[in-house]
Amino acid sequence: MCGRFTLIGPMRISSAYPRYHFEEFSEYRLPRFNVAPSQAVLGVINDGRNSVQPLHWGIGGRINARAESITARPVAFRCVIFADGFYEWRGSKPVYYTMKDDRLFAMAGVWEPVRDGEPPCAIVTCPPNALVARVHDRMPAILHDGDLEQWLAPHDLAPGEARRLLQPYDQADMTARDASMRLNDARYDRPDVLVDDDPVQGSLF
């Protein structure tokens, strides 16, 4: 699953994804080191507006949606959720995954229309690559930049096309390191969560 992630560089969204409009004075431009379920996340929904907006993380109590389940039929309401890293846990110890070049990335998501407020969303998960598999049996489905246009097209996406996009990301582009156990407190959102504070425990990485 994917239960926590970071968006340390939200201001990079505009340069990394210039196609998507992100309001210059958005209150959501502050760095986040421990994004947790039920909080606001930044993403784009497939409504054709290409606008970066806050989404509510969680649909009816579900924070993740399995790729295998949502592709059983055409996928209508799709979104991306921006991040620059995500966490998985081995026991009580968090492990932090990023791209080797620390670039921003877009996780595939699904969302539900609402009359008022932030649209609820869930992060799509897929089987892990070999790097993540050392810790967990799922990982977020990270989309390649060239696939964003298809994923965010304002029409239903056929199951076969969706399955092609929702694959484990290439482990050669990723890296992992142990992080602070302060992350176990979802209310704690400070830069020191990125530093391993338990050197006595053997590091997997």
Active site residue 88: yes
Residue 3's DSSP bridge partners are none
DSSP label at residue 92: T
- In the set 23, 27, 68, 88, the catalytic residue is 88
Structure tokens at 126: 């897929």
- In the set 2, 79, 121, 126, the catalytic residue is 2
DSSP string over 131-193: HHHTT-S-EE-EEPGGGHHHHT-SS-B-HHHHHHHS-PPPGGGEEEEE--GGGGSTT---GGG
40 burial (CB, 10 Å; 0-12 / 13-18 / 19+) is: middle
From CA 132, how far away is CA 62, in angstroms rounded?
21
Active site residue 112: no
Q: Is 29 helix (H, G, I), strand (E, B) or coil?
A: helix
Structure tokens at 111: 């969302």
Report, as residue numbers or ranges, the catalytic residues: 2, 88
